[in-house]
Chain A
Amino acid sequence: MSATAFAIAADVRAGARSARDVVEEHLAEISEREPEIHAFNLVLADEARSAADSVDSAVAAGDSVGPLAGVPVALKDNLCTRGIPTTCSSRILEGWRPPYDATVVERLRSAGAIIIGKTNLDEFAMGSSTENSAFGVTRNPRDVARVPGGSSGGSAAAVAAGLAPLALGSDTGGSIRQPAALCGVVGMKPTYGAVSRYGLVAFASSLDQIGPLASNVSDAALLFDVIRGHDPRDSTSIAGRIEPVTATLGQGVSGVRVGIVEELTDAEGIADDVRSAVERAGAALAAAGADVDRVSVPSTTYGLSAYYIIAPAEASSNLARYDGVRYGLRVDGDDVATMNANTRDAGFGAEVKRRIMLGTYALSAGYYDAYYGQAQRVRTLIIRDFASAYERFDVLLSPTAPTVAFEIGAKVSDPLAMYMSDVCTIPSNLAGHPAMSVPFGTARAAESPGSELPVGVQLLAPSLRESLMFRVARVVEAAAQAAGGTL
């Protein structure tokens, strides 16, 4: 595996390595593996080289360079990049070039990071396998017959294959954590409002958060520290200071109370190997000094149902603007309404259309209260149940995904089976809490016992307790590394 982001940034800052060399090395890796994996919608080779040269000039001139100096970062292709196509893996946005950078992109650039490409995703981030992309599937680098998870499958695969040390994804119901688990990397969803959404093409505004993917916990922490913090351009951005997580990473878990969430761990559909990984992660934390016990968070069982009302409802409104009038695809018609309909029919894929219809229905007159209203009440209930769990526990532990990576095509004809992929990750989005997936060994897939595939465990924390969550994650990671292949 290539060097960590920490090591690259330290070497580049010290002048021990040039950013240009780092970029060339990763571009070479991309040439080698990308044709098979298809993690990227767009590789920004020229832009990356010239950004690397700027970093190198700054280092040579003795100017201060940021904490991510010379580190290549892959961006999920739903993050706006000025003058660079941003497609959301949808035909409807093909060719559109945003006139502005997302806030996180600005922050990356000023931290010295090198934007190396835009990664593939399920169209508009709707999916759990990256198969819903208009530009082809991404393959799991651990087993190219399998999906990388989704919707940030391109970002997870890019990190897992060593095409970029760091990547950004977006997480509405698990879209960072689930692919991180399936690809064997670290993926983290911050507290809602800890990272600005400005420039993230919206799927479900009250649930979306941008977060880091990395090959290890420290690198994820480094990237989170760069992108976190208030942004006046996002009204839902938290006004106070967002604590950095890197500095406290090594403080251990002595006395930290960890609760294993029964409803998410023992549920039907959770593979035995996955459940046992959670138990072993709990045992490892206990061995490191944490107090580990089981906890019930009853309303999390309704999370999936509530999510599939709220997210499509918001999406049905957020995606209305793709009407062929101002940008992207236009398919003409006899009048404006027909042009709108023709454009949307040709431009959106099946899953996006399905969710727009679900959401439109859920918000329609006479059904609003039974669906959207009820889903919001479930959301309130989940927040309350988490709050009472956090009276007794500091962090919670659960599986990230019910199973290891599944084969390409296995669930495309069964949307409900696909939706189940996010059953463990959705509650954190509904509550607005931070959560992350950490690799914890491997397991054999039930249907093909031959291959060993990554398993991820999920850590959940109360709002703004990212620093504690990362400390625990570091201990889980250390335990997994110490056990090596024996887990």
Chain B
Amino acid sequence: MSAVSGNVGGGTPSGWEVVIGLEVHAELATATKLFCACPNEFGAEPNTNVCPVCLGLPGSLPVLNARAVELALRVGEAFGFSVPVKSVFHRKNYFYPDMPKDYQTTQYDEPICLTGKLEIEGRHVGIVRAHLEEDTGKTVHVGGGGRIHDATHSLVDYNRAGVPLLEIVSEPDLRSAEEARAYVNELRATLLAIGVSDVKMEEGSLRVDANVSVRPAGSVELGTRAEIKNLNSLRSLGRAIDYEARRQIALVEVGERVVQETRHWNEEDGRTHGMRSKEEAYDYRYFPEPDLVPVAPTDEMRSLVRETMPELPAARRARLVDTWGIAERDARVLVGTPGLPEYAEAAVAALATGTAKDVANWATGDVLAYLNESGLSPEVLPLAPDGLAELVGLVAGGALSRNQAKEVLGEALRDGHRPAQIVAERGLTQVSDEGELGAVVDAVIAANGEAVAEYRSGDDKARKKKRGYLMGEAMRALKGQGNPQLLTKLFDERLG
């Protein structure tokens, strides 16, 4: 590996190109499972959200959840997919204990969404398809450190069996770990904005598998790919791709071949590991699921989906950058947080004085920090958006310093008190009267002759330090409520 040199951004050694395609599984935010009425929820007691259908008991039959179809159509609309008149479920046959029927009901050669695209950094990434399928249960291996090979026995939880998934398969259009992360980021933001999934990678409601291959730069042929699983965060995704690309390049450079296989990312040792000891070619014996009829979305459903599409994240970011004058990075943070752009827009709408940019700064700063700390979502914040507008107005009008505002906002976010009320209660109003401030400045200068002398004789560094000290004394006398800009100006005038 030490022979590999000349890393360029993205971690790919020069002379090589890494080619990445991503398969993203998003759990759909439906109330119930894909084929039965059991709740679709995370974290329930094992085997409590189950029924004859999702347990695959003999004689039970699936009935397709119409809401899952509607959510798939929303994805279709958001990424410009074509949604065929009908799509078909197939059975994917293989034995596995956490799959109750020993086949997975999934879409195969006639998926619900065909040929879409997503834009990252001004470039289109092709999406081959998106299809509906059911999730499996979860197996827990007991004993022997939780690994299957030396476990004494295994327990299966079927709560997740039958949870609706949408698998979104990209073209091999991505060329670096950064691009892969950007793609997933944008996909997540969009799925979130259109209400399709809660996209939590840590809880498994968004799962990413990466198909990675390498080829000499300039080559048009695809190399042999490895499929990497167990990527539980964006960070893992990026690290795993970089590692895998280097592993494959090192192999090829010494004349070995890359084996087409599934590899498991290990977050701890930072490597990918081959998952199967023996070469197994699976034959899933797909055939059309005879217990379901083809999915044929009605015109009503299609137009309902079109009419209820919200503004998509990319468009919204562009609009906010354009009309609020905020940086792309801030727009990304704002739009990437569910509910926060709506909150900020409501605050801007309620703004009397101050700018939308000020609102955005508070929203992506203190408000977001509070959301993260409290776990609340913006819709349920005790402080209504017009309260934030009020705060921005107080600062813009000079009644509060930024530091005072920070304190006021902290309390307002926690308790829902109006900023103006907090200011009044604490007597916090900022002193901006030049006469009053001038008297304090004069008194401080008179009482600190030594510091004043040092200021006048000192170099720039010393002067700055001494002025800070004198400012602090003035602020103390003013109980922190002096207008800092005015105080600075008055000291500068008097100290010369």
A residues contacting B by CB (< 8 A) are: 78-80, 86, 88, 93, 96, 98-100, 102, 197-202, 204-206, 232-236, 313-314, 316-317, 320-321, 323, 325-327, 336-337, 340, 360, 363-365, 368, 372
Stretch from B49-57, B115-123, B200-208, B463-471 that touches the partner? B49-57
Which residues in A have their C-beta under 8 angstroms from that of B324? Answer: none
Residue of A nearest to B281 (CB): A365
Most chain B CB within a 10 A radius of its CB, from A202, A364, A372: A202
Complex CA distance for A326 and B58, rounded to whole angstroms = 11
In addition to A99-B57, A363-B286, 9 A-B residue pairs with Cβ atoms within 8 Å of each other are: A80-B58, A198-B61, A232-B63, A234-B63, A235-B63, A236-B290, A313-B287, A314-B287, A337-B95
Chain B 465-482 against A: per-residue CB contact (8 Å), 1 yes, 0 no? Answer: 000000000000000000
Which residues in B have their C-beta under 8 angstroms from that of A98? Answer: 52, 57-59
Which residues in B have their C-beta under 8 angstroms from that of A200? Answer: 59
Interchain CB contact (< 8 A) of B103 among A79, A233, A236, A320: A320
Q: Are A320 and B61 in contact (CB under 8 A)?
A: no
Which residues in A have their C-beta under 8 angstroms from that of B286? Answer: 363, 368
Complex CA distance for A337 and B94, rounded to whole angstroms = 11
Q: Are B290 and A323 in contact (CB under 8 A)?
A: no
- CB B286 to nearest CB in A, in angstroms, measures 8
User: B60 contacts the other chain (Cβ, under 8 Å)?
Assistant: yes
Please judge, given known A-B contacts A80-B58, A317-B285, whether A363 and B63 are in contact too, CB under 8 Å. Answer: no
Give 9 CB contacts A-B under 8 Å: A79-B59, A102-B59, A198-B61, A235-B63, A236-B292, A236-B293, A321-B56, A360-B285, A363-B286
- CB A48 to nearest CB in B, in angstroms, measures 22
Please judge, given known A-B contacts A317-B93, A337-B95, whether A325 and B156 are in contact too, CB under 8 Å. Answer: yes
Please judge, given known A-B contacts A99-B52, A205-B291, A323-B97, whether A235 and B285 are in contact too, CB under 8 Å. Answer: no
Please judge, given known A-B contacts A323-B95, A364-B283, whether A235 and B57 are in contact too, CB under 8 Å. Answer: no
User: B102 contacts the other chain (Cβ, under 8 Å)?
Assistant: yes
User: B452 contacts the other chain (Cβ, under 8 Å)?
Assistant: no
Which residues in B have their C-beta under 8 angstroms from that of A320? Answer: 93, 95, 101-103
Which residues in A have their C-beta under 8 angstroms from that of B93? Answer: 316-317, 320, 363
Q: Are B58 and A314 in contact (CB under 8 A)?
A: no
Complex CA distance for A340 and B99, rounded to whole angstroms = 13
Please judge, given known A-B contacts A102-B59, A321-B58, whether A235 and B100 are in contact too, CB under 8 Å. Answer: no
Which residues in A have their C-beta under 8 angstroms from that of B63? Answer: 232-235
User: B64 contacts the other chain (Cβ, under 8 Å)?
Assistant: yes
Which residues in A have their C-beta under 8 angstroms from that of B216? Answer: none
- CB A338 to nearest CB in B, in angstroms, measures 11
Complex CA distance for A99 and B60, rounded to whole angstroms = 11
Q: Which 9 A-B pairs have the closest CB atoms?
A: A320-B102, A363-B285, A206-B290, A205-B290, A201-B58, A80-B59, A199-B59, A325-B97, A201-B59
Which residues in A have their C-beta under 8 angstroms from that of B95? Answer: 320, 323, 337, 340
Interchain CB contact (< 8 A) of B55 among A96, A326, A364: A326
Q: Are B285 and A364 in contact (CB under 8 A)?
A: yes
User: B154 contacts the other chain (Cβ, under 8 Å)?
Assistant: yes
Which residues in A have their C-beta under 8 angstroms from that of B293? Answer: 235-236
Which residues in A have their C-beta under 8 angstroms from that of B287? Answer: 313-314, 317, 363, 368, 372
Most chain B CB within a 10 A radius of its CB, from A86, A96, A197, A323: A323
Q: Are A326 and B100 in contact (CB under 8 A)?
A: yes
Which residues in B have their C-beta under 8 angstroms from that of A363? Answer: 93, 285-287
Interchain CB contact (< 8 A) of A365 among B62, B102, B283: B283
Which residues in A have their C-beta under 8 angstroms from that of B100? Answer: 321, 326
Which residues in B have their C-beta under 8 angstroms from that of A360? Answer: 285
Q: Are A234 and B61 in contact (CB under 8 A)?
A: yes
Complex CA distance for A317 and B102, rounded to whole angstroms = 8
**A-facing residues in B56-103 (Cβ within 8 Å):** 56-64, 91, 93, 95, 97, 100-103
Complex CA distance for A316 and B103, rounded to whole angstroms = 11
Q: Are B97 and A100 in contact (CB under 8 A)?
A: no
Which residues in B have their C-beta under 8 angstroms from that of A326? Answer: 55-56, 100
Most chain B CB within a 10 A radius of its CB, from A199, A327, A372: A199
Which residues in B have their C-beta under 8 angstroms from that of A80? Answer: 58-59
Complex CA distance for A39 and B285, rounded to whole angstroms = 37
- CB B37 to nearest CB in A, in angstroms, measures 10
**A-facing residues in B243-300 (Cβ within 8 Å):** 283, 285-287, 290-293
Main secondary structure of the interface of A (DSSP, over half): loop
Q: Are A198 and B97 in contact (CB under 8 A)?
A: no
- CB A476 to nearest CB in B, in angstroms, measures 33
Q: Are B61 and A336 in contact (CB under 8 A)?
A: no
Which residues in A have their C-beta under 8 angstroms from that of B97? Answer: 323, 325, 336
- CB A222 to nearest CB in B, in angstroms, measures 25
- CB A77 to nearest CB in B, in angstroms, measures 12
Complex CA distance for A134 and B92, rounded to whole angstroms = 30
Residue of B nearest to A80 (CB): B59
Which residues in B have their C-beta under 8 angstroms from that of A321? Answer: 56, 58, 100-102
Residue of A nearest to B56 (CB): A321
- CB B491 to nearest CB in A, in angstroms, measures 79
Most chain B CB within a 10 A radius of its CB, from A88, A201, A326, A360: A326
Complex CA distance for A411 and B151, rounded to whole angstroms = 48
- CB B201 to nearest CB in A, in angstroms, measures 29
Most chain B CB within a 10 A radius of its CB, from A100, A316, A317: A317
Complex CA distance for A443 and B377, rounded to whole angstroms = 81
Residue of A nearest to B284 (CB): A365
- CB A427 to nearest CB in B, in angstroms, measures 18
Which residues in B have their C-beta under 8 angstroms from that of A102? Answer: 59
Which residues in B have their C-beta under 8 angstroms from that of A205? Answer: 290-291
Complex CA distance for A368 and B103, rounded to whole angstroms = 17
Complex CA distance for A98 and B293, rounded to whole angstroms = 26
Residue of B nearest to A372 (CB): B287
Complex CA distance for A133 and B63, rounded to whole angstroms = 32
Complex CA distance for A206 and B293, rounded to whole angstroms = 11
Complex CA distance for A204 and B101, rounded to whole angstroms = 15
Which residues in B have their C-beta under 8 angstroms from that of A314? Answer: 287, 290
Q: Are A235 and B59 in contact (CB under 8 A)?
A: no
Which residues in B have their C-beta under 8 angstroms from that of A336? Answer: 97, 154
Residue of A nearest to B287 (CB): A363
Q: Are A100 and B102 in contact (CB under 8 A)?
A: no
Which residues in B have their C-beta under 8 angstroms from that of A232? Answer: 63
Residue of B nearest to A199 (CB): B59
- CB A12 to nearest CB in B, in angstroms, measures 30
Which residues in A have their C-beta under 8 angstroms from that of B57? Answer: 98-100, 327
Which residues in B have their C-beta under 8 angstroms from that of A325? Answer: 97, 156
Complex CA distance for A79 and B58, rounded to whole angstroms = 9
Residue of A nearest to B95 (CB): A340
- CB A19 to nearest CB in B, in angstroms, measures 28
Complex CA distance for A313 and B285, rounded to whole angstroms = 9
Residue of A nearest to B36 (CB): A233
Complex CA distance for A320 and B93, rounded to whole angstroms = 8
Complex CA distance for A336 and B96, rounded to whole angstroms = 9
Q: Are A235 and B61 in contact (CB under 8 A)?
A: yes
Interchain CB contact (< 8 A) of A198 among B55, B59, B283, B290: B59
Complex CA distance for A67 and B290, rounded to whole angstroms = 33
- CB B406 to nearest CB in A, in angstroms, measures 57
Complex CA distance for A167 and B52, rounded to whole angstroms = 25
- CB B312 to nearest CB in A, in angstroms, measures 33
Interchain CB contact (< 8 A) of A233 among B58, B61, B285: B61
Complex CA distance for A99 and B91, rounded to whole angstroms = 25
Which residues in A have their C-beta under 8 angstroms from that of B156? Answer: 325
- CB A381 to nearest CB in B, in angstroms, measures 18
- CB A373 to nearest CB in B, in angstroms, measures 10
Complex CA distance for A206 and B290, rounded to whole angstroms = 5
- CB B298 to nearest CB in A, in angstroms, measures 14
Complex CA distance for A261 and B37, rounded to whole angstroms = 46
Interchain CB contact (< 8 A) of B58 among A93, A337, A340: A93
Q: Are B103 and A317 in contact (CB under 8 A)?
A: yes
Which residues in B have their C-beta under 8 angstroms from that of A317? Answer: 91, 93, 103, 285, 287
Residue of B nearest to A344 (CB): B95
Interchain CB contact (< 8 A) of A197 among B61, B101, B102: B61
- CB A104 to nearest CB in B, in angstroms, measures 11
